[in-house]
């Protein structure tokens, strides 16, 4: 009997010998030797000097791109008189929020770095409140997106510093933004053009002009998370609440993916002014309820004040963070927090998390995994695993590294330790 399998077996193909490319034969060995010599010299300066010089070399990478990107940091502008009716509503809400803030639990008062930010960057708002003068108040709102001091809600001050240095500006344009745009176009565009990343410029926004489109540096990641969060809720007017929402960047990109939802914001009174101004200008036909308006005044506040009846009447409800106790139990479909829980004292963080667990059906947050902030009294902020999530009622669905951790201009470092978590109530179907 013939061995058919052996007779029909094809002979193995002849493989040509591997020939290393020029970069492998010459460039890489030369680069390795040069790096060895440089590393020996740098070690003599100690660990701090070594890291500093290596980081400086990283910043000086040559540019190998013709991408049309230009940093835009506009000059501050005069307020538009046509905005005055909107600004007057915000001013009235701010004055009431500041008056009531002094009567509430001192735990809600800003401390540490945030207090310094409010005293410096938001001095125009504070001056307007103390002197009952709407002019500096309106001027700040018209220009918070091009402010020259850290506001804690956008990195405008960093963009101003970049704009004064040709080398740093070029690095930002061709390395930071180019890499982010390239990632978005490859993985997240899904047929959309760059116009999908463009936000209204209310507040005199700074950013990068990319092929004629002004794009905020963090808009790329807000677009990503806006689409992600929109997929976590039902499509029948869900209630989404955010603690510390800045000027509303994430909310804006949520609106691009959800046709109809209720947005409930809790924040410091100063930040709430920026969010109120931006969102009211961006969505002029939506129904807004500011602090002190309607039937939700502080005098009538109860555990049922912020409930389904209120959500049916308004699209946007913006409240000082100390009002979170008035939110009804299990009234929020999704509670959101980015960054701010990791900036709070342990006691305040625990208080907010307890209210979030009481009021929400699902909770998504993005905060520090290991790095802590230290306060003047010696305490340190909590990290993700220490938040008092009620494990009997919630189960952790997802834990994932922040996308900005892996899509950015810098090399990986343990200091960029942001992770996001998604929790759902255990008694929910699905």
Q: How confident is the model at residue 111 (pLDDT cuts 50, 70, 90)?
A: confident
Q: How much is the pLDDT for 420? A: 96
Is the pLDDT at 64 greater than 60, yes or no? no
Choose from 86-95, 106-115, 153-162 the range with maximum mean pLDDT: 86-95
Judge whether 324 lies within some domain.
Answer: yes
Q: Is residue 158 part of a domain?
A: no
Determine, yes or no, domain membership for 252: yes
Maximum distance among all alpha carbons in the chain? 107
Q: What is the mean pLDDT of the chain?
A: 88
- Residue 208 in contact with residue 199, Cβ under 8 Å? no
Segment 267-324, tens digit of pLDDT: 999 999 999 999 999 999 999 999 999 754 333 333 345 666 678 889 999 999 999 9
pLDDT tens by residue, 170-190: 888 988 899 899 999 999 999
For residue 357, pLDDT over 80 is answered with yes
User: Percentage of the chain with pLDDT > 70?
Assistant: 86
Residue 10, pLDDT above cutoff 70:
no
Question: Is 108 inside a domain boundary?
Answer: no
Q: How far apart are the first and last CA of the chain?
A: 62
pTM recorded for the entire structure: 0.86
Hey, how many other C-beta atoms are within 10 angstroms of the C-beta on 149? 12
pLDDT of 221 strictly over 80: yes
- Burial class of 231 by CB neighbour count within 10 A (0 to 12, 13 to 18, 19+): exposed
Going by pLDDT thresholds of 50, 70 and 90, the confidence category of residue 129 is: very high
pLDDT of residue 363: 98
Round to whole Å and give the CA distance between 417 and 187: 23
Poorest-pLDDT segment among 24-33, 255-264, 312-321, 339-348? 24-33
Residues 67-77 have a mean pLDDT of 92
User: The domain spanning residue 328 has which CATH number?
Assistant: 3.40.50.150
Q: How many independent structural domains does the chain possess? A: 1
377 within a domain of the structure (yes/no): yes
HEC secondary structure over 318-371: EEEHHHHHHECCCCECEEEEECHHHHCCHHHHHHHHHHHHHHECEEEEEEECCC
The answer to whether the CB of 418 falls within 8 A of the CB of 404 is: yes
Return d(Cα 181, Cα 197) in angstroms, integer.
10
Q: Are 90 and 144 in contact (CB under 8 A)?
A: no
Selected residue with higher pLDDT from 308 and 373: 373
Residue 197 lies in a domain: no
Residue 195 falls inside a structural domain:
no
Quick one: pLDDT at residue 2? 52
More confident residue, 303 or 163: 163
Per the structure, the complete domain to which residue 277 belongs is given by 219-425
User: In the prediction, which pLDDT does 303 show?
Assistant: 37
Q: Which of 14-18, 203-207, 312-316 has the lowest mean pLDDT?
A: 14-18
Q: Torsion-angle region of residue 223: left (phi > 0), alpha (psi -120 to 50) or beta?
A: alpha
At 63, is the pLDDT very low, low, confident or very high (cuts 50, 70, 90)? low
CA atoms of 88 and 203, how far apart (whole Å)? 16
- DSSP H helices, 102-133, are 112-120, 123-131
Q: Is 6 inside any structural domain?
A: no
pLDDT band (50, 70, 90) for residue 408 = low
Using 50, 70 and 90 to split pLDDT, how confident is the model at 258?
very high
Q: Is the pLDDT of residue 392 over 50?
A: yes
User: Does position 329 have pLDDT exceeding 60, yes or no?
Assistant: yes
């Amino acid at each position: 009997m013939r061995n058919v399998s052996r007779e029909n077996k094809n002979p193995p193909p002849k493989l040509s010998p591997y020939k290393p490319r020029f970069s492998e034969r010459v460039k890489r060995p030369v680069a390795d030797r040069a790096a060895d010599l440089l590393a020996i010299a740098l070690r003599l300066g100690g660990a701090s000097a070594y890291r500093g010089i290596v980081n400086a070399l990283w910043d000086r990478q040559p540019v190998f791109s013709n991408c049309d990107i230009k940093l835009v940091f506009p000059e501050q502008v005069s307020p538009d008189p046509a905005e005055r009716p909107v600004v007057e509503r915000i001013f009235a809400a701010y004055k009431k929020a500041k008056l009531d803030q002094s009567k509430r639990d001192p735990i809600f008062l800003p401390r540490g770095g945030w207090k310094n930010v409010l005293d410096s960057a938001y001095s125009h708002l504070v001056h307007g409140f103390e002197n009952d003068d709407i002019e500096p108040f309106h001027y700040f709102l018209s220009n918070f997106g091009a402010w020259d001091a850290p506001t804690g809600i956008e990195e405008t001050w960093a963009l101003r510093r970049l704009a004064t240095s040709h080398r740093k500006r070029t690095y930002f344009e061709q390395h930071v933004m180019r890499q982010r745009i390239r990632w978005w176009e490859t993985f997240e565009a899904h047929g959309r053009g760059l116009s999908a990343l463009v936000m209204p410029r209310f507040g005199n926004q700074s950013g990068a002009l990319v092929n004629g489109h002004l794009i905020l540096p963090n808009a790329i990641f807000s677009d990503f998370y806006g689409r992600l969060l929109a997929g976590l809720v039902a499509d029948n007017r869900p209630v989404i609440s955010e603690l510390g929402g800045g000027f509303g960047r994430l909310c804006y990109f949520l609106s691009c993916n959800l046709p109809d939802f209720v947005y409930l914001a809790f924040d410091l009174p100063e930040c709430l002014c920026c969010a109120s101004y931006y969102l009211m200008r961006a969505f002029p036909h939506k129904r807004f309820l500011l602090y002190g308006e309607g039937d939700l005044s502080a005098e009538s506040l109860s555990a049922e004040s912020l409930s389904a009846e209120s959500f049916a009447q308004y699209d946007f409800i913006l409240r000082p963070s100390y009002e979170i106790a008035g939110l009804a139990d299990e009234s929020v479909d999704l509670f959101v927090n980015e960054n701010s829980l990791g900036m709070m004292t342990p006691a305040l963080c625990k208080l907010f998390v307890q209210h979030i667990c009481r009021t929400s059906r699902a909770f998504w947050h993005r905060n520090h995994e290991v790095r802590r902030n230290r306060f003047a009294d010696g305490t340190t902020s909590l990290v993700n695993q220490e938040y008092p999530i009620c494990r009997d009622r919630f189960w952790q669905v997802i834990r994932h590294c922040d996308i900005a951790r892996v899509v950015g201009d810098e090399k990986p470092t343990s200091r960029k330790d942001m992770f996001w978590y998604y929790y759902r109530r255990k008694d929910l179907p699905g």
